[in-house]
Amino acid sequence: MKDLTAEKPHLVFVYGTLMQGYHNHMLLEDAIFLGQAQTAEKYRLTYTSFPMMTEVSEVKVKGELYRIDEREFDNLDILEGYPQLYYRKEIPILHREKTYSAWTYFYTRGEGRYEIPSGNYHDVRLNKFYSP
C-alpha cells in the first residue's frame, strides 16, 4: 500500500475558489480530497470579488481539507500571491471529529467589502448574501 503521507506530505484547508465547483479548483485536481472540514478556531470571512479570511475572531470557517505535494503547494502560493497578498499559516482544522494541523491562507490587505456571517463561501454562490 502506498504511503500517501510521503507522496503528499502537506495538509491544506481551502475555503473559497479552490473548493470543488469553483474555477480555481483545477489546481487541486491531483490532490487527495479528505473531505469537508472547518476551522477549530474563529476567523473573519469576507469577500469582494474573491474570499478573504483574516485573523479576527468571528466564526468557524467551513471549507475542504486536502493532502498536497510540493508542486501543488507552489502552485497555490502563486495563485494566492504569497507572501504579499496572502500569507500562509498552519492552524487547527476539524475533520471527522478529529483535529488536524493544516496550512491555510490569510489575506494581508484588510478585508473584503461583504461579510460571510455563516463562515461558508458556498452561501455567496447560493445568493444568501449580497453579491457585487
Active site positions, annotated? 80
For residue 76, which amino acid is it? L
At residue 49's C-alpha, the angle toward residues 46 and 79, to 5°, is 95
Nearest in space to 100 (alpha carbons), one of 124, 54, 65: 65
Query: Which grid cell is 45?
Result: 470571512
CA-to-CA separations, 132 to 80, 119, 127, in angstroms, rounded: 21, 18, 11
Nearest in space to 80 (alpha carbons), one of 115, 108, 119: 108
- How many other CB atoms sit within 10 Å of the CB of residue 27? 17
